[in-house]
Amino acid sequence: MNGPLEGKTALVTGGSRGVGKGIAQRLVRDGALVVIGYREDDRTALDAVAECDAEHGDGRMHAVRADLTRVAEVAHLFDRAEALVGGLDILVNNAAVMRRGTLADSSEELFDDVLAVNLKGTFFALQQAVHRLREGGRVINVSSTATALAHPSQAAYSASKAAVEQLTRVAAKEFSRRGITVNSVAPGAVETERVSATVAPEVLRQWGRSNAFGRLARPQDIADVVGFLAGPDSRWVTGQNLRASGGAL
C-alpha cells in the first residue's frame, strides 16, 4: 500500500459500524494501520476486521472492546491499541449514542448515558491522546449538524455535540505544543445501518431532500473529509469545525 498515511497508525472509536467503519476503511486505504474500538457487539467488530483482511491482507485493522464511559477502559483501549500497532499518530473520536428526547421528557438515565459516551468518552480519550500521540499527529472529533439545528427532540444529544465542538477548540491549543492538529467534523444525516433501522423511510427521504444534493450522506462521504483532516495536507487547519452536510444547515 502506498498512500499518504503509509507508516502512520490510527485509533477510531466506534469503528465497527456506520460512519466509524467508513472512516477506518478510508484510513486503511490511505496506508495506516488502524485499531477500531467498540463497546459490546463483538460479531460486528470482528466482521469489520475480516472484511478489511479480505481486501487488504491480514494485520491492517484490529479491534479492541472497551466502554468509553469508564475512564480505566479508555486507558486500556490506548494501551492495547499502542501495543497492537506500535504507538499512535491519529485519533478519531467517533463513538457516540443518539437518543431522542425533549427537555421535558428526557430521563436522568438518558441524559447521563448520552453525555457519558459522547462527551465524557471524548474528553478522556483526548486526555490519553495528549501525552500519547506522536508529534505531528492528528485528532478528529465527530460532531453533528444537530449543534446548529436546535431540534427539540435532540436536547441532550445536541448539547453533548456542542460541548465536543468547544472541546475541540480548547484541545487544539493544548495539542499544538506537540504539532498535533485537532478538528471536528459535523455530518448531517448519514445513511447507516442504525439510521435505516430506526428512522421511517419517508423521514429519510425528507432528510435527503434537505441538502443541496437531494440524497442522504453515505459513511464514505464523511470518511473522505476525515481522511483529509487525518492526512498531511491539513497541517495548517486546527481548532476548526468542518460541516459535512451536503450544504444542509
Positions that interact with ligand NDP (CB under 6 A): 13-14, 16-20, 37-41, 44, 67-69, 94-98, 117, 121, 142, 144, 187, 189-190, 192, 194-195
CB 161 within 8 A of CB 117: no
Q: Closer to ligand NDP by CB, 38 or 175: give it.
A: 38
Helix (H, G, I), strand (E, B) or coil at 20: helix
Q: Closer to ligand NDP by CB, 135 or 202: give it.
A: 202
Minimum distance from residue 233 beta carbon to ligand NDP (Å): 23
Long-range contacts of 110-115, Cβ-Cβ distance < 8 Å, separation of 24 or more: 110/156, 111/156, 113/69, 114/156, 114/157, 114/160, 115/156, 115/159, 115/160
Minimum distance from residue 150 beta carbon to ligand NDP (Å): 15
Cβ-closest residue to ligand NDP? Answer: 18
Minimum distance from residue 146 beta carbon to ligand NDP (Å): 7
d(CA 97, CA 32): 26
d(CA 58, CA 47): 13
Q: Closer to ligand NDP by CB, 43 or 177: give it.
A: 43
Q: Which of 38, 78, 124, 157 is catalytic?
A: 157
What lies within 8 Å, CB to CB, of 232 at 6+ separation is: 4
Minimum distance from residue 30 beta carbon to ligand NDP (Å): 19
Q: Closer to ligand NDP by CB, 169 or 194: give it.
A: 194
157 is catalytic: yes
Joined together, the cell numbers standing for residue 52 give 478489511
Catalytic machinery residues: 157
